[in-house]
Amino acid sequence: MKIIVIGASGRVGQELVNDLEKQGDEVVAASRHPQDNAGAKLQLDLHAEANEIAPQLDGFDAVYFTAGSRGKDNLGTDLDGAIKTMQAAEMAGVKRYIMLSAAFALDRSKWNNPGIAAIKDYYIAKHYADLYLVHESGLDYTILQPGTLQELPATGTTSFTPEAGSNTIPDVAAVLAELAHADNTIGKVITMHAGQTPIAEAVKAI
pLDDT tens string 138-180: 999 999 999 999 999 999 999 999 888 899 999 999 999 999 9
d(CA 180, CA 19): 11
CB-based contact 155:139 (threshold 8 Å): no
Residue 34: what pLDDT?
65
Q: Where are the domains of the chain?
A: 2-204
pLDDT tens by residue, 4-19:
999 998 999 999 999 9
Average confidence score pLDDT of the chain: 94
Residue % of the chain over a pLDDT of 70: 97
Among the options 122, 123, 128, 141, which is catalytic? 122
d(CA 7, CA 28): 11
Question: Which helix (H) or strand (E) segment is 91 a member of?
Answer: helix 80-92
| Residue 39 pLDDT level (bands cut at 50, 70, 90) | low
d(CA 5, CA 26): 11
Per DSSP, the three-state class of 147 is coil
pLDDT tens by residue, 69-97:
989 999 999 999 999 999 999 999 999 99
Of the listed ranges 23-32, 73-82, 133-142, 181-190, the least confidently predicted one is 23-32
Instruction: Classify domain 2-204 by CATH number.
Output: 3.40.50.720
Residue 41: what pLDDT?
83
Residue 31: what pLDDT?
87
Is 122 a residue of the active site? yes
User: Residue 157: CB partners within 8 Å, gap ≥ 6?
Assistant: 171, 194, 195, 196, 197, 198, 199, 202
- Whether pLDDT at 63 is above 70: yes
